[in-house]
Structure 1
Amino acid sequence: MLIRISSSNSPISIATTSCRCQLQRLHHHPVHSTSFRSRSFSGLSSTTAPSTTNLTTSLKKASFIFPSHHVHQIRHRTHHANNSSGALKTENKTLTAAAASARPTSTTSRSGIMSSTLAHDGKRNRTYDDALARLAQLQSNKAITNLFSGPNVPLDNLNALATPETLWWLNRAGYTPESIASSGLRCVHVAGTKGKGSVATLISSILTQYTNPPEIGTQIGLYTSPHVVSVRERIQLNGTPISEDKFGKYFFEVWDKLSEAARDAQDSLPEGEEYDGPATKPFYFRFLTILAFHVFIREGVKSAVIECGIGGEYDPTTAILSAPESVTACVVTQLGIDHVSMLGDTVPKIAWHKAGIFKRGVKGITRKLNVANMNGDVVAEEVMKVLRDRAAEKGLGVLEEVSDERVEAWQGIKEAKLEGPFQKYNMVLAVRAAREHLHKIGVADLNGFELSNMPDRVMAGLKSASLRGRSEKLVDGDMIEWFVDGAHTEDSLRGVGQWFAREVSNSADEWLNVLLFNQQDRDPEVLLKALLSAAEKEFGGQGPLFTHAIFTRNEESSSGSDDLVVQNKARDVFLGFVGGSEAEIKTWTKDAVGPSMDLIRDMARKNDNGAATKYRVLVTGSFHLVGAVLRDIDRVRLEQKQLPAEEGRQ
């Protein structure tokens, strides 16, 4: 939410609490920035302002972001605000109208995103690398989400501001939810705690099978987050990240449009900032979300799968897809505890947010939770009640609850690229969502969509779907096999432990097993115990599963830091759990991923007796760790000419 105020020189608009509120929408895989920037831009009318008390409280918490004289002016003016403006209206029409009214007249008169009049005199770089440099200037996601960890944060008011702010930025980019719907783009919307990226990818892979012959268009869009190696992973066409050329082209179309809008509105800027700079742009995740929809529309995409960033109710993707006709199906995947500072500290509270993607008249699909599949948590029925109540509140057409019995009776897909016992549940949700999408857009091939008798194209889509850093296996020469998964919650790590142990148990080869683990922001004890208990149970008491373990920081190369408190704690937890001595199980702590990779490769070259040994390495606990490991592996493969040049770039 933005409120217009005046400075001594010119009108200025400042996000009243967006510095804290919005940022919860941003995903957890950041492009790091070193400082916060004051952001000034035209705003929505003050008739939708939060209460003066909450606004002032939020400003006190945000004062380190804004210049002090701006904060003082906001406090002074909000002291006289009319409290009758009161509660923020959240109906789509109200929000869209408010956002549209805020658009500068000169901007709305333009024909669209392609009408950029910024000079391109050859001096300005327009390369993919330049786009990455601009993107890195935007407010980082991690810094934003960290703001929600402070005491006494008024989350309700902060959350309520997220949707109108997203719509305001969307308008500045030349779009509204209605214009996106009128383009013919139809989307499957996916939220959840565990497996939402996999489910989104599986749906996209199934739908891509229907592009030849082109029953639903020639390209299927996919928007997911976070990325693991390259930001282009977030925006895909037919299961492939968009090219560097397309990313750069469409990035600057959106960037220039936002710059023009700020210039046309005569926005006041902080000293030293320019209209073409980051001060006139939204935050990292929100910018990429708008960019994704722009790419899909410019590419003529008619079917897309959109994954939420965090939550659902206040996520930027939900605001942009607020026209019900834009959405063909809503999927809520497995629920659990995550992002508690933003979504709440219980699964029912989190379920309320996730169910925010439900749309009037649209089918919802979710896994039917019970005590067993929630690891004994007795709140399962309460969670389902929240989902059902939210479905009724939102006017959902029907909520399909997929039972575990139905999934377990299905034999699954052999040789699927997305492996692991947990992927079976994701596949069933994906099949049901893809079927609903095809039904909504008029594709007749729906007979045989039952699990026991699926069309060949659906089977092919499930088999070929892949997602970087999720159940990913890579071979490094003849001596190392990498098992890579960015799982970072208890539930996800249990699944990864089962997957790795099953892979090891099914192999007759004699390999040694290495755990490469990091989780810098969450309790490593809870996560490691979830991983190890599930893995050892699946392994079936055949001796210690892991003979080696490395606990590292996430940095790619050594920085000289001697802060290994988290790593030492993780090692102690590991040794305490496996019950082995240092003589039986070797462990290390490392200050960076690079030295960890060197250690593993050195071990594979020779053991203590000088003979080579084969290793299986499970890399898990953090997407940051997984990204660094995959970049290292890609670098080696690129040097060995085993990887196309563009795939080895960020």
Structure 2
Amino acid sequence: MSTRTYSDAVEHLNSLQSNAATIEAARATGGRLSKSAIPEMLEYLDRIGYKPDDLNRLNVIHVTGTKGKGSTCAFVDSILEEVRPDWKVGLYTSPHLVAVRERIRINGTPISEEDFAKFFFEVWDRLEANETRADPETLPKPAYFRFLTLVAWHAFLTLKVDATILEVGVGGTYDSTNIVPKPVVTGVTALGLDHIGLLGNTLEQIAWQKGGIYKPGVPALTVPQPTSGLEVLRQRAAELKSSEFYVTPEVEGLRDLKLGLPGQHQYQNANLAIHLARRFLKDRANIEPDSSLSPIYVEALRKAKWPGRCQTVSDPKFPKQTWFLDGAHTLESLDCCMEWFVDPSTSLRIKESSRPRRILIFNCTSGRSGTSFLGAMFERLALRLRLHKRDESPQQFFDHVIFCANVTYASGNFKGDLASKTLTDVEVTQLKTQHELANAWRGIVPTFPDEFIHVLPSIEHAINVAREQGTGDRPIDVLVAGSLHLVGGVIEVAGLSEVAL
């Protein structure tokens, strides 16, 4: 190669994406292919020059769950940085919103394009220089997420971080992050019927997957869970010989605080983060936990940031336009989204007589989920209007609804960091999912004017339609939900990066 730029790294990384057919084939096996993930990941780690025990030097806090695991990691990150400003804290999360380097952070800041390219190609070159494989069927290079996990570990080890907050990608037991022999502490956030789809959709099976991150001699923490899920987590902790199994009680005074991440559901995430941080700091910094929330914890929780989740952004170029961004993509997270959005602090902040024009931009991975997703959102919307004693009709709450593909630009091209092979040609050209969503909306709100239901081929098209509504003095509120990839594309195309990220 003649150059080794960030763009080159992104292009190489995108070549490792699995296409839609591959992902569907993996789902069809019921998870059997996942069982090879851990031995393959160990082999890739060895090929780039590390042993599993090397990962213990990262001082890992390992976090999984159905919902809230990213927010919990963000709270832990903020606490560690506030308590130990002299430390170098690594944070590895997924997915990214606008730039892939967002997934690998040091003290809350994504590593630079130069550093990402450097670490990326060091891993790439080591794999190319050592192609010896125990199983000839193992791919020469790991798939997208696995490769990024290797890059993150290589970066953190090279930079000698003092602590690493490691978010599981999918599931837990077979996730590529799950080869750290001895994390400092592990945590499971709220369980629910999420979209992993590999072991089935019962809560017990999901709990079995998530509990797979528990390790011998390591504290196993979780939030209060439904009884069946909690019992499976307890069994997994015993089976995997955790040092203890601990259901985190709520920290006194937490509910009195204003958190940096809005939404009532964030208090449970913040609570787990406090317990994880306290365990970690006692083990690695000999800091005994306070009996109450100290001012430094209060400040850390207030300053925590996690873009794209229940986030309000004023448009820097269009003063009358406000974006409400939430990558909620499960039934439970969409429920939380509507609790946050239909509230006097957000979309109900202005008197009904002069209310903003409201627009919904929505997408999800399958239009077949549209009826349940959009139906649940509409039910919660109606409930919230009644709760806040608003006379507004739920059927007329949104003035326009837009269903668009996650294609970045009107030209049909993607921003490099947002390119996706998971979209089939039929989905892109025929907008199958978006038409299914539009039909679902018509079924839920049959009185909604058809000319205000938009099916559009790109995020840029959607933003253009939203901005066309901004004539006159009336403000515009735009709720973007259903997909973090959609939220990231909106931030990119609408020029919100400087204020949103």
Q: Which runs of 5+ in 2 are unaligned?
A: 413-427
Higher Cα radius of gyration = 1
Q: Does 1:361 align with 2:217?
A: yes
Shift in alpha-carbon separation, 1:536–1:164, aligned structure 2, 3 A: same
- Greater relative contact order, per chain length (Cα 8 Å cut-off, separation 6+): 2
Q: Hey, what's the Cα distance between the residues in 2 that align with 1:410 and 1:301?
A: 29
How far the C-alpha of 1:485 sits from its partner, in A, is 1.1
**Which amino acid in 2 is paired with 1:467?**
W
Q: Hey, what's the Cα distance between the residues in 1 that align with 2:136 and 2:332?
A: 46
Q: Does 1:518 align with 2:363?
A: yes
Q: Which residue of 1 aligns with 2:459?
A: 593
Q: Does 1:550 align with 2:419?
A: no
User: Per the alignment, in what secondary structure is the counterpart of residue 438 of structure 1?
Assistant: helix
Q: Hey, what's the Cα distance between the residues in 2 that align with 1:340 and 1:559?
A: 32
The answer as to whether partners of 1:337 and 1:346 remain within 8 angstroms in 2 is: yes
Shift in alpha-carbon separation, 1:481–1:410, aligned structure 2, 3 A: same
**Which amino acid in 2 is paired with 1:147?**
A
Q: Which residue of 1 aligns with 2:491?
A: 630
The answer as to whether partners of 1:286 and 1:316 remain within 8 angstroms in 2 is: yes
Q: Which residue of 2 aligns with 1:15?
A: none
The answer as to whether partners of 1:516 and 1:549 remain within 8 angstroms in 2 is: yes
Q: Does 1:424 align with 2:267?
A: yes
Q: Which residue of 1 aligns with 2:425?
A: none
Q: Hey, what's the Cα distance between the residues in 2 that align with 1:211 and 1:160?
A: 38
Q: Does 1:161 align with 2:36?
A: yes
The answer as to whether partners of 1:412 and 1:424 remain within 8 angstroms in 2 is: no
Per-residue CA deviations over 1:448-485 (Å, capped at 9, x if unaligned) read 4xxxx312222222122212221222111211100111
Shift in alpha-carbon separation, 1:413–1:628, aligned structure 2, 3 A: same
Q: Hey, what's the Cα distance between the residues in 2 that align with 1:334 and 1:300?
A: 32
The answer as to whether partners of 1:185 and 1:297 remain within 8 angstroms in 2 is: yes
Q: Hey, what's the Cα distance between the residues in 1 that align with 2:31 and 2:295?
A: 47
User: Match for 2:25 among 116, 140, 147?
Assistant: 147
Q: Hey, what's the Cα distance between the residues in 2 that align with 1:588 and 1:351?
A: 39
The answer as to whether partners of 1:559 and 1:591 remain within 8 angstroms in 2 is: no
Q: Which runs of 5+ in 1 are unaligned?
A: 1-122, 271-277, 370-379
Q: Does 1:231 align with 2:100?
A: yes
User: Match for 2:279 among 433, 436, 442?
Assistant: 436
Q: Hey, what's the Cα distance between the residues in 1 that align with 2:14 and 2:319?
A: 38
The answer as to whether partners of 1:407 and 1:424 remain within 8 angstroms in 2 is: no
User: Per the alignment, in what secondary structure is the counterpart of residue 483 of structure 1?
Assistant: strand
Q: Hey, what's the Cα distance between the residues in 2 that align with 1:565 and 1:125?
A: 39
Shift in alpha-carbon separation, 1:643–1:284, aligned structure 2, 3 A: same
Q: Hey, what's the Cα distance between the residues in 1 that align with 2:363 and 2:293?
A: 40
Q: Which residue of 2 aligns with 1:244?
A: 113
User: Per the alignment, in what secondary structure is the counterpart of residue 411 of structure 1?
Assistant: helix
How far the C-alpha of 1:345 sits from its partner, in A, is 1.8
**Which amino acid in 1 is paired with 2:359?**
V
User: Match for 2:242 among 396, 414, 432?
Assistant: 396
Q: Which residue of 2 aligns with 1:413?
A: 257
Q: Which residue of 1 aligns with 2:159?
A: 299
Q: Which residue of 2 aligns with 1:101?
A: none
Shift in alpha-carbon separation, 1:469–1:141, aligned structure 2, 3 A: farther
Q: Hey, what's the Cα distance between the residues in 2 that align with 1:425 and 1:626?
A: 24
How far the C-alpha of 1:630 sits from its partner, in A, is 1.2
State the TM-score, normalized to the length of structure 1.
0.68
**Which amino acid in 2 is paired with 1:206?**
I
Per-residue CA deviations over 1:378-428 (Å, capped at 9, x if unaligned) read xx321111111111111112222235xx479742432x3311111111111
The answer as to whether partners of 2:434 and 2:455 remain within 8 angstroms in 1 is: yes
RMSD of Structure 2 on Structure 1 (CA): 2.7
Per-residue CA deviations over 1:68-88 (Å, capped at 9, x if unaligned) read xxxxxxxxxxxxxxxxxxxxx
Q: Which residue of 2 aligns with 1:499?
A: 340
User: Per the alignment, in what secondary structure is the counterpart of residue 83 of structure 2?
Assistant: coil
Q: Which residue of 1 aligns with 2:304?
A: 465
The answer as to whether partners of 1:494 and 1:535 remain within 8 angstroms in 2 is: no
Q: Hey, what's the Cα distance between the residues in 2 that align with 1:267 and 1:295?
A: 26
Q: Hey, what's the Cα distance between the residues in 2 that align with 1:266 and 1:349?
A: 32
**Count of matched residue pairs:** 473
Q: Hey, what's the Cα distance between the residues in 1 that align with 2:63 and 2:100?
A: 20
Shift in alpha-carbon separation, 1:154–1:495, aligned structure 2, 3 A: closer
The answer as to whether partners of 1:188 and 1:329 remain within 8 angstroms in 2 is: yes
How far the C-alpha of 1:587 sits from its partner, in A, is 2.3
**Which amino acid in 2 is paired with 1:594?**
E
User: Per the alignment, in what secondary structure is the counterpart of residue 514 of structure 1?
Assistant: strand
Q: Does 1:474 align with 2:313?
A: yes
Q: Hey, what's the Cα distance between the residues in 2 that align with 1:242 and 1:170?
A: 21
Q: Say which is worse superposed, 625-634 or 187-196, in terms of deviation.
A: 625-634
How far the C-alpha of 1:562 sits from its partner, in A, is 5.7
**Which amino acid in 1 is paired with 2:23?**
T
Structure 2 matches for 1:313-352, cutoff 5 A?
313-319=173-179, 321=180, 323-324=181-182, 327-352=183-208
**Which amino acid in 1 is paired with 2:63?**
V
Per-residue CA deviations over 1:597-629 (Å, capped at 9, x if unaligned) read 00111111x2xxxx3421111100012211211
User: Match for 2:66 among 186, 193, 205?
Assistant: 193
Identity of aligned residues (%): 35
How far the C-alpha of 1:368 sits from its partner, in A, is 1.2
Q: Hey, what's the Cα distance between the residues in 2 that align with 1:575 and 1:429?
A: 40
Q: Say which is worse superposed, 556-565 or 293-302, in terms of deviation.
A: 556-565
Structure 2 matches for 1:25-36, cutoff 5 A?
none
Q: Hey, what's the Cα distance between the residues in 1 that align with 2:307 and 2:39?
A: 33
User: Per the alignment, in what secondary structure is the counterpart of residue 63 of structure 2?
Assistant: strand
The answer as to whether partners of 1:388 and 1:399 remain within 8 angstroms in 2 is: yes
The answer as to whether partners of 2:219 and 2:245 remain within 8 angstroms in 1 is: yes
Q: Hey, what's the Cα distance between the residues in 2 that align with 1:142 and 1:247?
A: 27
The answer as to whether partners of 2:171 and 2:196 remain within 8 angstroms in 1 is: no
Q: Hey, what's the Cα distance between the residues in 2 that align with 1:194 and 1:441?
A: 28
Shift in alpha-carbon separation, 1:407–1:487, aligned structure 2, 3 A: farther
How far the C-alpha of 1:445 sits from its partner, in A, is 4.8
How far the C-alpha of 1:340 sits from its partner, in A, is 4.4
Shift in alpha-carbon separation, 1:227–1:412, aligned structure 2, 3 A: farther
The answer as to whether partners of 1:141 and 1:285 remain within 8 angstroms in 2 is: no
